[in-house]
Structure 1
Amino acid sequence: MNMKVLHVAETIKGGVASVLNQLISSQNEIEICCILPDSQADEIYNNKKILLKQFQRSGRNIKSLLALANVFRVTLKEFKPDIIHLHSSFAGVICRFLLFFMPLDKKIKVIYCPHAFSFLMNVSSFKKYVYSFIERLLSLNTDAIICTSNYERNMAIQYGLKKDKLFVVYNGIQEPIVNIDDDINPFDSHKINILYVGRFDYQKGIDILFDIINAAGTKYHFTLVGDTVHDSFNRPELASVTYTGWLNSKQLAKYYKYADVTIMPSRWESFGLVAAESNSYGTPVIASNSSSLPEVVVDGATGYLFDLNDFQKALDILNIKTKEDWNSMKEKCLSNYIEKFKSSDMISNVERLYKKIKQ
């Protein structure tokens, strides 16, 4: 499949970096250019000849967004892609808005993956209306929109986006790392070890997590991988909590491998990457039953779901489950990953979409 693809991201922290790395490493017959922040360029595993175009990002501010817009404008003229693949809302807004004012060859196709539409957020009805209006307007400059779950696609339809532009592609999860550097159990084997991976913010339910931590007994230990990104959060220093900061996939592998269970109290997600990653190591997940998470976590088989308004249920589940109970779910977790979330499936689906819109 000989073509030129321009990937654009305003930030690649977290799931976007994982998806980008998988696509880049597999698209051997595609000439690739990536626009991304200079401070995050080392998160792309440039194991083949790809062109990196970087912009200065000092946060989510006018200066950074203008820098992205300028690099996009220049790169579009110089690289002349067949497909523009936009990742996340801010890149989607900035770049598709610019396309209204730039003469674009009709042969160039635009794919947009919001990695969670803004109208999925827990905000006022008015804000949801504004966000959905912007998405409907910008969809005029979009040939295909990748939704990472059926939930996200259904919500997009509900907010007025055209069905024929919406395609569901589950995020792919790379095969679990087998040869782990420093493969030593990082946990106290006398405790039930609960892993959290993600930003410390409202969307990810960090406040709900600490409600659970504060109510849990001494037989549990919580390891929190991640940090704040946009929100501010004062980290309580507790004997039952270990903070690791952000870890790359190689560093994170042993935490997924040796944890008894992963917890994911998110208020909204477009997919649930952490849950799928956890399953790839055979580790079950306790997750909220919000948004797309019931598509990723099979209640009673690969983990358990609880209502956001009833964190006591999460505690009840923890209190009745032993290490042996969690370990007994391993095979179903692995099967769930293999059947639904393999990296090769995502890559094939994205490449099929490239071909479809280029016809």
Structure 2
Amino acid sequence: MAANPKIVVRFNFPYDPAMDERFAREPDIALRTCQREAADGRIWADLAEAHVYLISSAKDELPRQWFATADLLARCPKLLCVSTSGAGYDTVDVDACTKAGVIVVNQAGMNAGAVAEHTLGMILSLSKRIGESDRRLRRERGFAREEVMGCDIAGKVLGIVGIGHVGTRVARLADAFGMTVLAYDPYVAADEIVARGARPAALDDLLAQSDFVSVHCPRTAETLGMISERAFGRMKKGAMLVTTARGGIVDEAALYAALASGRLGGAGVDVWDREPPPLDHPLLTLDNVIATFHTAGVTVEARRNMAAQAAEQIVGLLKGGRPPRLVNPEALPAYRARFEAILGLSSAAPDVLHRL
């Protein structure tokens, strides 16, 4: 190990071994794992030395005192980068990081295939009423097969809210099933939406025309509560909703009301306001709801890819490169100055950028 190593700090959540293996190949990088059960003083001592803080993306997995807030940043004078373990960054105050000259990176796209497959799995299960059939077969006899008769998804309309990494994968899978795909994304140009496999649509039009609506946008101040009572009122009677994005984008109380009233035909919910949801959550009482525990992106392959790529991105930026999955590029000027002052290296060297 080098005399003055670059220090990466994380908490003791499960990580694929690919992460440790990648860091082990760098003699000047030290990976420290904090025990969540440890005394606060021990954790703060490690964070105060950190150049990179590898933070959980799951908002209900990490105690809030360890969120990357202005208060935490003030106690971490050497911190150059906050790297989330997934695509989301609900545990990070991005504005505070930018003001402090700290870059934020995520793992956007690294588990997109897994989330897209989960989304299609939910759509198929809802349309074929697989969950309902399974529950009834386990608890009763005497019902007719026609009572759990489903529908084909071929020829149906899928509306995608947010056509980024995951939404694009979902569009391609849906096309293979013979679905018509619409997409709403105010940050993607119409011709690019077409290139990603969907027809551009305004949100209200998408809601009104879709047989299935699938949510794939990030959780931001703009999107919190976006799929609301008003949105459900715009949807076709009997349409179905799937959300594998982030808790809080869909208004859960409004979703329950739309399902209980028969306005919607079913829902697949992977992400929740509180994770896991309480056992008495109203949505869990409905047979036409498929509920999973924020597991859409939790597969063996996705976890391995995210761990390996998170480590690769951190190694690259600690060598002076610009990370490929940068959330706050506006922080770069201040970050570069701090990088050079703290590590004595020049940031964004052209040869490193080429390799990234």
Interval of TM-score (by shorter of Structure 1 and Structure 2): 0.3 to 0.5
- Normalising by structure 2, we get a TM-score of 0.35
- Largest Rg, 1 or 2: 2
Higher relative contact order, structure no. (Cα contacts within 8 Å, ≥ 6 residues apart): 2
Q: Which protein has the bigger strand share?
A: 1
